[in-house]
A = this chain, B = another copy of it.
Amino acid sequence: MTLSEEQRAAVEDARAAEQPTRRATVPSLEEILFEPLPVLDRGFVRVVDYMGDDAAIVQAARVSYGRGTRNVRDDAGLIGYLMRHRHTSPFEMCEIKLHVKLPMFVARQWIRHRTANVNEYSARYSILDREFYLPAIGDIATQSESNRQGRGDALTEPVAAELRERMRAHAEEAFDLYDSLLDGEDGVARELGRTVLPVSAYTQWYWKIDLHNLLHFLALRADPHAQLEIRAYAEVLIDIVNKWVPITAAAFDAHRLQGASLSRGQVEAIRRRLRGETVAAADVGLSAREWRELATILGEDG
């Protein structure tokens, strides 16, 4: 991550100003406000603004005249109940605004989550800096054979290093061409010049989302099936959520991230086994795949 001096100064200025407010305020989030948290080789996430806290969820669920909370234990009980029963609207009452710098191929996955507000840096309007993503040596891996959309084993260090160097050289050439296309009096329009850039180039945007939709995003993007590069962002976001709404974050961890969804047949298999029966996939109408997924959930897959 590299900020220009001017950018660094703008961040510091923003952090220095403090005003009094009657709004719900979260000191541990104020602590990191505006600060760029590094992700990947040159990306970052900055919390730019937020609305609400754990208490605001309780307050909305109760349609309260005041703060709405009782005590930590009651509030945690209510939040757990709402999470378990998918009463999602109270979680929509909290909102967060982030400034994110990320490779375009990550941005293309990210933007698929539609229930958010976005303002992206425009390469029609401005010239992009020479910044592109290169995977770390240890992250360069073969195509997975079991998972059609994932990575398998890491390549050996020398092979990976050589590939990485070729990727680097190609990206540099792309930016050379980009610069030369835009250069001089006969320079082509920025909107045309940018078409030669690789999807590894970094872009940035302001992204604003409510807590419910953020958690949904995280459930999908912090998942082991998600691409490593977007997962790196999801992990930083989970840290932010922990600082922001710790009670909700804990409930989310227990009920979503570390919970499990079972089908009718999977429930049936468990019921029978608990009654002492021996059960096979076919007895409960499960496919081989669902049977393996159940074994994984039950920690019996190895």
Residues of A within 8 A of B (CB): 3, 6-7, 9-11, 13-15, 17-25, 30, 33-34, 48-52, 56, 59-61, 63-67, 77, 80-81, 84-86, 89-90, 92-93, 95, 97, 99, 103-105, 107-108, 111-112, 114-115, 117-122, 124-125, 133, 135, 139-144, 148-152, 155, 159, 163, 166-167, 170-171, 173-174, 177, 181-182, 185-192, 194-200, 204-206, 208, 210, 220, 225, 227, 253-255, 258-267, 270-271, 273-274, 287, 289-290, 293, 297-300
Tell me how far the C-beta of A287 lies from the nearest C-beta in chain B, rounded to whole angstroms.
7
Give bound CA distance, A148 to B124, whole Å.
Answer: 8
**A124-B149, A259-B264 known, 12 other contacts, Cβ within 8 Å:** A13-B66, A23-B33, A63-B204, A63-B205, A112-B118, A114-B115, A139-B192, A142-B185, A170-B173, A198-B198, A262-B262, A267-B298
Docked-complex contact B192 and A290, CB < 8 angstroms: no
Docked-complex contact A260 and B267, CB < 8 angstroms: yes
Give bound CA distance, A195 to B174, whole Å.
Answer: 13
Given contacts A22-B34, A195-B105, A267-B297, contact A166 B170 (CB under 8 A): no
Residue A186 contacts which of B85, B92, B142 (CB distance < 8 angstroms)? B142
5 A-B residue pairs with Cβ-Cβ distance under 8 Å, sorted by A, are A10-B67, A19-B23, A63-B205, A197-B198, A260-B267
